[in-house]
Amino acid sequence: MTTITAVVFDIGETLTSDTRYWADWARWLDVPQHTMSALVGHVLARGLDNAEAIRLIRPDIDVAAEWAARRDAGQGDHLAESDLYPDVRPALQQLRDAGVWVGIAGNQNREVTGLLRGLDLPADAIATSGEWGISKPSAGFFTRVAEWAPGDQQQILYVGDHPANDIAPARAAGLRTAHLRRGPIGLTTSAPDADWTADSLTDLADLVVRQLR
């Protein structure tokens, strides 16, 4: 089996938790947090975009306009260390210490690129769909990943929680894949075609480093 020399990570529910994001929306829409969480789970289970959870509360809402209103009210995009899962820094650092190239690329708006860079994560490069102008699960996104990360396609491992958005299209693009059992999608859907399945980034980093020896 070809040795993995580059690992690229999805962002939401792989590196960052969506907990605060949805809590902020619950406060803005004036609904209990548990209601917001339940609605997000409901739409995700149906394979819908998570923004549909907001439309269940306010069917006529213009989500983009509402987001702009939140930003004007000082509730725009931000990321804090507390938004990262606890295993992120040690796992990424373990990979870099082993000589593996580490990238971060997922579906986020352009502003999040700068916010992630501001966290000074142990990564060689960071990009988002907003910056690239193409998003998952489009094949073009993963073609871009294959061109962006060093090495042949079979030397690049894409890590994500979402079988349909992350694992299947990455495999179709010729990349190796790792399914992370994290978050509402990662824990409730399986990815039997993934090269690896891991319960944490610590476990995944151990697997990758082990195959380098």
- CA dist 178 and 181 (Å) reads 10
Mean pLDDT split into 10-residue runs, the chain, 213 residues: 92 92 91 93 79 92 86 77 96 97 92 90 95 93 97 97 95 98 91 96 96 83
Query: For residues 185 and 164, what is the distance between their CA atoms, to the nearest angstrom?
Result: 10
Q: Are 92 and 84 in contact (CB under 8 A)?
A: no
pTM of this prediction exceeds 0.85:
yes
In terms of C-beta density within 10 A (0-12 exposed, 13-18 middle, 19 or more buried), how is residue 129 classed?
buried
The structural domains of the chain, ordered by start, are 6-16+82-212 (3.40.50.1000), 19-72 (no CATH)
